[in-house]
Structure 1
Amino acid sequence: MIVAQKDYNYQYPPYTSYEKGSEKKAKKNAKLKNLVLVAIIASLSLLVLYRYALIYEKSLAIDKLEKQIQYTENINQQLRAEIASMSNPARIEEIAKERLKMQVPEKNQIVYVKVEYVPNMAKNEVSETMKRTDSFFMRLLGVFNR
């Protein structure tokens, strides 16, 4: 009796020595890297959103100020028109006559005032002495101002 040889075909992976702990460590490192990456991306996106929120807030403030400027310019234009209508000489004369009961002065009511004539020579002498004292004092004050 011949014993038949059975052909067992076992396929074993090539033998490599590796530690089981290093595989777990690599998985933990990969998870940590992913977590850090997600945290960085989230913080950057929040930073961008915060910037856009600030920009939007500033643009609203600018729009509000522009509306206020337009409103004040309209009021200013209306007031200028009112001033122009109020400063009309004919209107002023009418108000003076009707409300204040004023009259145009007659010739005998006008009084002329005579101003004395001061010769130019006296003016020049006074002004030169004043200039001398002014320049001395101004120089003295200039030294103290420095």
Structure 2
Amino acid sequence: MESGKNYIHGSAAPKIEYDVYEENKVLKAKKTQRSNNKAKLKMVFAIFLVFIAGSAVMLRYTMITQINYSIDSRNKEYARISNENAKLEIAIQQEMDLVKVKEIAESKLGMHKPDKYQIVYVNIPRENLSIVSEKYKEKSSGEEVLKSVLNKLEELVALLY
């Protein structure tokens, strides 16, 4: 059999076009009300989703703005500290002037250059003397180094057991 609009699929009985909702006004009004309620619910849900998405975007931009303000304030603080540091370096360089140091030493601390009889010259020998320990002299040979390494390993094994 054909599966057209006029027949029920799988039988020879004609399809009856009867819609209860078309003839009864009360049922028709309820059907339209239900479809309108579904549409209203979908619209409210869509508006709610748009509101949530908009809130998320606004929250993100407020966080970005807050971070930018924080970065800007830190940059200003860094510039202020950097300028203060430069000023302090200049002040230190001005205070380190030898003439000024000499003046402060003479006036405030009561220092003066030594007289000729106060100067004592010390002779320093030109050769460099260094004292080498006996243990270092012993370790200088190759066999001694190997023996000391073995001794250290034996001490380590003794500590482990």
Check whether TM > 0.5.
yes
Q: Which blocks of at least 5 consecutive residues in structure 1 are unaligned?
A: 1-13, 141-146
Number of the residue aligned with 2:54: 45
Cα deviation for residue 106 of structure 1 reads 2.0
Q: Secondary structure at the match of 1:124?
A: coil
Which of 95, 98, 118 does residue 89 from structure 1 map onto? 98
Distance 1:129 1:69 in 2: 56
TM-score, normalization: structure 2? Answer: 0.61
TM-score, normalization: structure 1? Answer: 0.67
Q: Secondary structure at the match of 2:76?
A: helix
Aligned residue pairs total 123
Q: Which blocks of at least 5 consecutive residues in structure 2 are unaligned?
A: 1-16, 22-26, 140-144, 157-161
Distance 1:126 1:96 in 2: 48
Which of 42, 45, 56 does residue 33 from structure 1 map onto? 42
Percent of residue pairs bearing the same amino acid type = 26
Q: CA-to-partner distance for each residue in 1:102-136, whole Å, 9 max, x for gaps?
A: 1111232134567798854xx23346169889xx5
Change (3 A) 1:60 1:15: same
Distance 1:49 1:77 in 2: 42
Mapping 1:120-131, distance limit 5 Å: 120=130, 123-126=131-134, 128=136
Distance 2:73 2:87 in 1: 21
Change (3 A) 1:34 1:71: same
Distance 1:36 1:56 in 2: 30
Question: What value does the CA root-mean-square deviation take over the aligned residues?
Answer: 3.5
Change (3 A) 1:62 1:130: farther
